Amino acid sequence: MRWFETPDFNFLKAHKIGQIVSGILLVASIIVIFTKGLQYGIDFRGGKEFVLEFQQPVEVTEVRSELAGPLDGAPEVKRFGSPQDILIRTDNPGDITAVQSTIMGTMQQLYPDNDATVIKTDIVGPRFAEDLKRGALNAIIFALIVIFIYILIRFKDWTFSAGAVGALFHDVFIVLGIFTLFSEIAPFSMQIDQAIIAAFLTIVGYSLNDTVVVFDRIRENSMLYKTMDYDKMINKSLNDTLSRTVITSITTLFVVTVLFIFGGEVLKGFSFALMLGVIIGTYSSLFVASSMVVELHKRKQNT
Amino acid sequence: MKGNGTKIGFIVAFLAISIYYLWPTVANMLEQNYVEDLPEAERAEYVEENAQRLQNLREESLSLGLDLQGGMHVTLEVGTPQLVRELAGEYLDSTLVDVIDTAEQEAIENGTDFITEMVQEFEERNPDARLSRYFRSDTENITRRSTNEEIEAYLQQQRDSAVERAMEIIRTRVDRYGVTEPAIFVQGNNRVVVELPGVANKERIRNLLKGTARLEFRLAAEPNQINTARQRIMNYYSNQASSDTTDTLQQQQGNGQNPLAEVMSTQTRNAYSFGYATGRDTARVNELLQRPEVQELIPRNMVLMWGASPFQTTPEGQEFFEMIGVRPDVEMTGEVIEEASVNFDQTTNQPRVSMNMNSDGARRWSRITGANIGKPIAIVLDGYVYSYPNVETKISNGRSSISGLENVAEAEDLVNILLSGALPAPLDIIEERTVGATLGEASIQAGFYSTLIGLVIVAIFMIVYYHAGGAIADLALILNIIFILGILAAFKATLTLPGIAGIVLTIGMAVDANVLIFDRIREEQRTGKTLRAAIEGGYSNAMSAIVDANVTTFFVGIILYSFGVGPIKGFAVTLMAGIVASLFSAIVITRVVVDYLTRDKSAELSFG
């Protein structure tokens, strides 16, 4: 089977559309992130989170309103996969054991014939949350710097570094924007926690993978076709690698979708971020990274 | 083909090493299935007979993270500010207290070291002042003339040894409690991480870890002082309530508007009791009593402390706790305890802890009890009054006991804590994560099915798209997974749920190298090259793209590993192991197979 045998798409023409689409998505994401604020999960916000498994399904709203009094303020209550499992998050500053027994006592009263067991707890103190946040931020910044330098050394052209890192920013901001916008209505957790940061860095690695393969072909073609226009040469490189870009994206998308469906509730947010990342990362290496290189190259030549 | 002998050698060697390291894991799984299928009666016998062998297998198996086998992960922080305050001891003044408080805030905000912040803050306030005014140590040679740098080094060293000691004490406590294969290690400069697989009673563990076991013997406060303080505080809140309220209706409701009277009853059980409240209201009472204006109404030689266990429980489960007035001076601390054991009170049949003091303690205990016959002495542990029995006679044999314990488990844990020694500084639980065994089990299943389904889908796709080439890539993919697990087992890495996700992700990305190569081979074929020339060109031309793409992802793995904690580290490890393994299998293994299949000039091999 062969797709894209000898493709001859005019990517550079599509770059114009790509720039508009990316521009709109980026601006929208940034507006969403700044107006709504990042929706932090337990790791970065701190608090106490309990996952309760009941014998029979329970009503989320009922649990929330019943706990509001005893916990001094309504907790966040969400489904955790099946309707029997619910997640309760509270900022109540009390002792862990006391908070847990308050929750269990209230549930016992509310559902006397429907026993609950705690199957998972996450308690993160405010200081620890700050540390985790700082660590995550450092990891992302550090990753971007290392990538910028590696590409600079490997391709000896800062426009490539800028194109690659620009595409990464593009990918991460759009995924972040989607996560921020839909965190409340999603049927699974889309809050930013450590696992999501790991997913982001993986997206960074993956999107880079795609971008680097294209860049590698540009480098190769620039030596083979010295007289060709820079634009045309980049377009040829994109077409040359198109088959590989699409096939790898398909296999990766297969496995992250499998993870999303079969990986269990704990990995839902993580694998969803990867799904989005693979799609947007593929798009960006075709329409954003090289487009930036072309633009920057033009400017470099004009000055 | 020339050189393939070496390649085959490498492949066989790597495969052999992987299988060698994975063998205990497989054997362990088989053993466990076998044991589970045995009839009840034979099971215990078999396990006992093969205990040593089974344990060895378990230890050499690829270990599962707490998120997969269930268990408890706790991060404790040593209270450095408190430690510094205690080191300063009698020299502590309001300036230093203020500096410590500010530095504590700054250390949290900037994520920096508390001691460094404290020295900086101190020097900023008064560049000429010396910290040596607050600290003395003969053994560490810290005198009035010590420089601030020397003091800083001294404090850091004290903190490090406190963390070290805390870790040792926690290890002793956990071992006495009896957890299999706990992991206890220091993180950063003031944290201790405790990982306990498969613990069920989280509450007991929490108390066991946190308990500073600061045992104190204090005299009770004077009954008339307790009375006066209570009256004054009640009056204060009544007056405040009536002057605050403009609503006449509320005023008429009498004492309902006094916020303290709403949560605390002043009907006392005896002369030393300040009042009582339900368990839920104790926090509110503390808050009301902590206010500076109220603190001024409490005499200097009296502090109020809650009883450790409820003195009464209603049938509905409401628990009442008593507040007791004691002296601020500590007569004696738990350091003198030499022996402790659990036994039962003969009259009430309640569990209690009997303690034996060393000779110095016995002497002091004899003096204290002798001087206070007829008065109560409060036995205080970590700020809670366990009991305050009346001294009937002078006790000269150095014996004492702690009653007021809820159950035998609590008594056992208390003995454990008392005997393993007091923690040098208070410990705070700043992170706690627990996963139940059933959720862990479900995660293992989810991980296993995801890997299997992911593998099957990718394998089918590769065959459909690249025909024979795809089949070769699939073979490499399967070996790849064996290699990844082998690497994890060899490096004694822990497999977590994100780690399994890393493996699944690798399945999707591992074929990338083969996709690059096969696409390149097709391209070379299009230019009219022979199959063998195209294969040669495909492999060599794709190499630089493969290396570049994988090096960058590997960097991301390293960064994730160094910044991530817990399960995320597991993800980083499998991601990195996956890159190494997939490069090897995609480049070396497929090449050997492809070369073998095209060894004749006339051979055909389809790349789709």
Tokens at B62, concatenated? 């690829």
Q: SS3 sequence, B381-392?
A: ECCEEEECCECC
- Backbone φ and ψ for B142, nearest 5 degrees, come out as -100, 115
User: Are B479 and B533 within one domain?
Assistant: yes
| Residue B256 domain-assigned (yes or no) | yes
Q: Is A45 helix (H, G, I), strand (E, B) or coil?
A: helix
The CATH code of the domain at A11-41+128-302 is 1.20.1640.10
Altogether, the residues listed in chain B come to a count of 608
User: Are B380 and B474 within one domain?
Assistant: no
Gyration radius (Cα) of chain B, Å: 34
Q: Do B446 and A264 touch (CB under 8 A)?
A: yes
Q: Is B434 on the interface with A (CB under 8 A)?
A: yes
Q: For position B244, what pLDDT does the model report?
A: 57
Total of domains in chain B: 4
User: Are B294 and B342 within one domain?
Assistant: no
Mean predicted lDDT score pLDDT of chain B? 85
With CA atoms as reference, report the closest residue to A288 among A238, A232, A236, A230. Answer: A238
Q: Are A180 and A116 in contact (CB under 8 A)?
A: no
CA distance B192 to B271: 43
Q: For position B250, what pLDDT does the model report?
A: 44
User: Are B482 and B409 within one domain?
Assistant: no
Give the minimum alpha-carbon distance from A303 to chain B in angstroms, rounded to a whole number: 30
Burial class, B12, CB count within 10 angstroms (exposed 0-12 / middle 13-18 / buried 19+): exposed
Q: For position B253, what pLDDT does the model report?
A: 45
CA distance B402 to B400: 7
User: Are B460 and B593 within one domain?
Assistant: yes
Q: For position B2, what pLDDT does the model report?
A: 54
Residue B346 is classified by DSSP as: T
Q: Do A121 and B434 touch (CB under 8 A)?
A: yes
| Residue B433 domain-assigned (yes or no) | no
Considering B173, B188, B203, which residue would you say is the last residue of a domain?
A: B188
Least confident window among B43-52, B414-423, B519-528: B414-423
Q: Print the domain residue range for B509.
A: 4-62+438-597
Q: Model pTM greater than 0.95?
A: no
The CATH code of the domain at A47-124 is 3.30.70.3400
With CA atoms as reference, report the closest residue to B534 among B595, B587, B492, B452. Answer: B595
Altogether, the residues listed in chain A come to a count of 303
The tens digit of pLDDT for each residue in A139-176 reads: 888 888 888 888 888 888 888 888 888 888 899 899 99
Q: Are B22 and B489 in contact (CB under 8 A)?
A: yes
Q: Is B212 on the interface with A (CB under 8 A)?
A: no
| Residue B194 domain-assigned (yes or no) | no
Residues 6+ apart with CB under 8 A from B555: A143, A146, A147, A150, A205
- Token pair 């299999």 is found at B180
Rounded alpha-carbon distances, angstroms, from residue B409 to A42, B306, B382, B524? 32, 21, 18, 75
Interface predicted TM-score (ipTM) of this complex, two decimals: 0.89
| Residue B483 domain-assigned (yes or no) | yes
The CATH number covering residue B550 comes to 1.20.1640.10
Task: With a cut of 70, say whether residue A125 has pLDDT above it.
Answer: yes
Number of separate helices (H) and strands (E) present in chain A: 10, 4
User: Are B375 and B496 within one domain?
Assistant: no
Burial class, A200, CB count within 10 angstroms (exposed 0-12 / middle 13-18 / buried 19+): buried
User: Are B505 and B536 within one domain?
Assistant: yes
The CATH number covering residue B391 comes to 3.30.1360.200
Q: Do B438 and A119 touch (CB under 8 A)?
A: yes
User: Are B452 and B592 within one domain?
Assistant: yes
User: Are B301 and B445 within one domain?
Assistant: no
The full set of domain ranges for chain A reads 11-41+128-302, 47-124
CA distance B409 to B91: 41
Task: With a cut of 90, say whether residue B391 has pLDDT above it.
Answer: no
Rounded alpha-carbon distances, angstroms, from residue A7 to A10, A229, A250, B114, B597? 9, 19, 18, 61, 30
Query: What does the pLDDT average to over A215-235?
Result: 88
Task: Select the highest-mean-pLDDT range: A177-181, B151-155, B318-322.
Answer: A177-181
Task: Suggest the residue from A115, A266, A270, A272 to mutate for an interface test with chain B (most B CBs closer than 10 A).
Answer: A266
With CA atoms as reference, report the closest residue to B195 among B514, B496, B517. Answer: B496
Q: How confident is the model at residue B479 (pLDDT cuts 50, 70, 90)?
A: very high
For B26-107, list the strands marked E by DSSP.
63-64, 71-78
Task: With a cut of 50, say whether residue B270 has pLDDT above it.
Answer: yes
Least confident window among A273-287, B237-251, B372-386, B554-568: B237-251
- Please, what sign has the CA dihedral across residues A164, A166, A168, A174? negative
| Residue B213 domain-assigned (yes or no) | no
Q: How confident is the model at residue B249 (pLDDT cuts 50, 70, 90)?
A: very low
Q: Is B283 on the interface with A (CB under 8 A)?
A: yes
Tokens at B410, concatenated? 């609590």
Task: With a cut of 80, say whether residue A180 has pLDDT above it.
Answer: yes
Q: Are B570 and A197 in contact (CB under 8 A)?
A: no
The tens digit of pLDDT for each residue in B314-336 reads: 887 788 899 999 998 888 888 78
Q: For position B457, what pLDDT does the model report?
A: 95
Least confident window among A1-15, B51-65, B94-108, B361-375: A1-15
Task: With a cut of 50, say whether residue B79 has pLDDT above it.
Answer: yes
Considering B326, B353, B368, which residue would you say is the last residue of a domain?
A: B326
User: Are B297 and B383 within one domain?
Assistant: no
* B contact residues 126-165, partner A, Cβ 8 Å cutoff: none
User: Are B467 and B557 within one domain?
Assistant: yes
Q: Are A191 and A269 in contact (CB under 8 A)?
A: yes
Q: Which residue of B has its CA nearest to A266?
A: B443
With CA atoms as reference, report the closest residue to B82 among B218, B217, B213, B212. Answer: B212
Task: Suggest the residue from A141, A258, A282 to mutate for an interface test with chain B (most B CBs closer than 10 A).
Answer: A258
User: Are B415 and B449 within one domain?
Assistant: no
Considering B275, B294, B326, which residue would you say is the last residue of a domain?
A: B326
Instruction: Please name the member of B431, B555, B566 whose beta carbon is closest to the beta carbon of A123.
Output: B431
